[in-house]
Amino acid sequence: MNLTLKVWRQSGPNAQGRIETYDAKDIPAEASFLEMLDIVNERLVEKGDEPIHFDHDCREGICGTCSLTINGIPHGKDRGITTCQLHMRKFKDGDTIWIEPFRANPFPVIRDLIVDRNAFDRIIAAGGYIDVRTGSAVDANALPIPKPQSDAAFDAAACIGCGACVASCKNASAMLFVAAKVSHLGHLPQGQPERDRRVLGMVRQMDAEGFGNCTNQYECEAACPKEISVEHIARLNRDYTAAVAREQFVAS
């Protein structure tokens, strides 16, 4: 396959960015999108040019670091996959592909296609955990959990924190990410003691980081590689409203 790449290049957080054009020739159709970039980078290095900088780690659709916007869509047009799981056979010979970083003010560009997503880590630190003593490991069935609850918790826990939900939202809202993390623990009995503190802390930290509001257009669900449902956002809103009411009651 012979392709034309339009790639965002930016030497640093405060540098002026630009789109540069590269020829990607003789790309195997079975190559993944990141492998295609590897091939292009090897050729750039051979010529003494600066390679294209991008994030990657597991390349198995698990870690969420391969945060690329491909032809205007986070992770590309295919549903339910990360960039590293996108293969070049999905494109046509002669295609022009636009490759940019995830766009959101809370995700500042570090270099080229790499963005700083530490805002997500700070949201998790604000409450996305359980700090009660759990003791040693127990049998899986020692604490009965209804299957609908365990299934819902597992679905929410599938979130890999890639940020596609933010990049796809016109408001750069992180509601789907926060909702998944809150809902995951909120469905389990172990998460109940800190339920109010968790949702208050994470939502307020999300706002402090500069993420926008949700306007219920569901681009986040469409772009999510793990297809996290927006139903978790509804649950988050209910939990947050109830937690604020209880907090105000205690304060009064």
Neighbours of 198 (CB within 10 A): 23
Q: Looking at 119-128, 129-138, 170-179, which range is the least confident one?
A: 129-138
Average pLDDT over every residue of 224-234? 97
**The last residue of a domain, from among 80, 111, 142:** 111
In order of 41, 57, 158, 182, 186, the CA distances from 235 in angstroms are 44, 32, 17, 9, 9
Residue 160 has what pLDDT? 97
Q: Is the pLDDT at 136 greater than 90, yes or no?
A: no
Residues 241 and 173 in one domain: yes
Q: Is the pLDDT at 175 greater than 80, yes or no?
A: yes
Residues 149 and 73 in one domain: no
Domain of 8, CATH number, reads 3.10.20.30
Going by pLDDT thresholds of 50, 70 and 90, the confidence category of residue 161 is: very high
Tokens at 150, concatenated? 């365990």
pLDDT in tens, 114-128: 999 999 999 999 999
pTM of the complete model beyond 0.85: yes
pLDDT in tens, 195-212: 999 999 999 999 999 999
Residues 195 and 158 in one domain: yes
Q: Looking at 37-41, 103-107, 111-115, 186-190, which range is the least confident one?
A: 186-190
Residues 125 and 9 in one domain: no
What is the number of domains present in the chain?
2
Residue 134 has what pLDDT? 63
Residue-range definition of the domain harbouring residue 206 = 118-251
Residues 41 and 158 in one domain: no
Domain of 202, CATH number, reads 1.10.1060.10
Residues 104 and 137 in one domain: no
Residues 63 and 177 in one domain: no
Q: Is the pLDDT at 143 greater than 90, yes or no?
A: no
Residues 107 and 141 in one domain: no
Are 123 and 200 in contact by the 8 Å Cβ rule? The answer is no
Residues 132 and 14 in one domain: no
Q: Is the pLDDT at 150 greater than 80, yes or no?
A: yes
Residues 99 and 128 in one domain: no
Which ranges of the chain would DSSP assign to H, the alpha helix? 33-46, 118-125, 147-157, 164-168, 175-186, 195-208, 219-223, 231-251
Residue 140 has what pLDDT? 64
Whole-number average pLDDT of the chain: 95
Residues 58 and 127 in one domain: no
Residues 26 and 141 in one domain: no
**The last residue of a domain, from among 61, 85, 111:** 111
**The last residue of a domain, from among 111, 138, 158:** 111
